């Protein structure tokens, strides 16, 4: 990668970080950004098309769609960020422990992860969410149950690659114990790939969480959540398409931003690319 290309990647990364941060700000200050009460019903305004007073129209109960999309960003985005945080931390710690420990513990742990990976992810999540009884929290738990093996295998592979390198042998000779070797040397060297994977997973998890809510296995009414909003409006796609297109567009924009952010971050942090400057 030449200098011009790397500078372009840096600018692209900066723009995408601003957009992602903007989504987070919308979710944080959603209560102050909503032009109307997102839960206030007015049947006289039911299924109104987009207009100057209601920019994205109203739903079947007369609630302002723009307000519901804005307040729904809180449950959708924050739930996904919480999910990514849980699975990345647990999976990374578990994978490091497996790679460092090795032996029978590593073999048994990897067979357990193979068991979780043997089923199609969303189908497995639907089964878990169905057993738990639905709801947003149970949907997050269901997606966490199917997502941690990816991080465990990534961290294990990175740990195995780092475990026998000369710098760790020097650290052992310097008197570092096992925990010091893991937290001071191995963990900092594998955080890059884990962080990129987590960023790329935000968009995927956002769609899967919306999918569970769409199937009535996630957020329950009257909670404003993008997938649930699409599910409630799917019967009116021909008569009042804005009811489903609004939250669908919010999901699309968010997924595109986070996917592009993950791809750009991966290019920027790639050591092989940095070495070509």
pTM for this one? 0.86
CA–CA separation, 148 and 38 (whole Å): 35
Structure tokens that stand for 227 in this block: 């997938």
With helix as H, strand as E and coil as C, how does 54-96 read? CCCCECCCCCEHHHHHHHHHHHHHHHHHHHHHHHHHHHHHHHH
Which residues, listed in sequence order, are joined to residue 58 by a DSSP beta bridge? 64
Q: Which domains does the chain have, with CATH numbers?
A: 3-37+63-274 (1.10.3720.10)
Q: Please count the other Cβ atoms lying within 10 Å of the Cβ belonging to residue 236.
A: 15
Buried b (16+ CB within 10 A) or exposed e, 15-39: ebeebbeebeebbeebeeebebebe
Question: 236 and 243 in contact (C-beta within 8 Å)?
Answer: yes
pLDDT tens string 140-150: 888 888 888 88
Q: What is the reported pLDDT for 265? A: 87
Q: What is the reported pLDDT for 80? A: 92
Structure tokens that stand for 177 in this block: 């114990």
Q: According to DSSP H, which parts of the chain are helical?
A: 3-28, 30-33, 65-101, 103-117, 121-132, 136-163, 166-173, 178-181, 187-214, 226-233, 242-269, 271-274
Given a cut of 70, the residues of the chain with pLDDT beneath it are 1-6, 270-277
73, 88, 71, 69: which is closest to 20 by C-alpha? 73
Question: 261 and 6 in contact (C-beta within 8 Å)?
Answer: no
Structure tokens that stand for 220 in this block: 């329950």
For 155, phi then psi, to 5°, come to -65, -40
- The pLDDT mean for the chain works out to 86
Q: What is the reported pLDDT for 277? A: 42
Contacts of 118 (CB under 8 A, 6+ apart): none
């Amino acid at each position: 990668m030449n200098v011009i290309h790397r500078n372009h990647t840096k600018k692209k990364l900066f723009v995408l970080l601003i957009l992602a941060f903007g989504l987070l700000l919308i979710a944080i200050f959603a209560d102050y950004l909503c032009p109307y009460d997102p839960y206030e019903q007015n049947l006289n305004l039911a299924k109104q098309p987009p207009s100057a007073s209601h920019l994205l129209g109203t739903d079947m109960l007369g609630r302002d769609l723009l307000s519901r999309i804005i307040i729904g960003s809180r449950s959708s985005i924050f739930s996904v960020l919480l999910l990514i945080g849980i699975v990345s931390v647990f999976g990374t710690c578990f994978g490091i422990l497996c790679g460092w420990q090795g032996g029978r513990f590593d073999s048994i742990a990897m067979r357990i992860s193979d068991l979780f990976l043997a089923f199609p992810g969303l189908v497995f999540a639907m089964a878990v969410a169905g057993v738990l009884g639905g709801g947003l929290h149970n949907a997050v738990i269901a997606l966490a149950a199917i997502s941690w093996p990816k991080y465990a295998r990534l961290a294990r592979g990175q740990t195995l690659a780092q475990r026998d390198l000369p710098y760790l042998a020097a650290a052992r000779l310097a008197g570092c114990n096992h925990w010091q070797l893991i937290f001071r040397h191995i963990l900092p060297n594998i955080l890059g790939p884990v962080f990129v994977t987590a960023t790329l997973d935000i968009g995927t998890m956002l769609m899967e969480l919306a999918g569970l809510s769409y199937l009535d296995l996630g957020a329950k009414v009257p909670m404003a959540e993008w997938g649930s909003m699409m599910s409630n409006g799917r019967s009116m796609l021909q008569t009042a398409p804005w009811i489903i297109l609004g939250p669908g567009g919010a999901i699309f924009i968010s997924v595109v931003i986070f996917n592009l952010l993950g791809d750009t971050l991966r290019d920027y942090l790639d050591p092989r690319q940095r070495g070509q400057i």
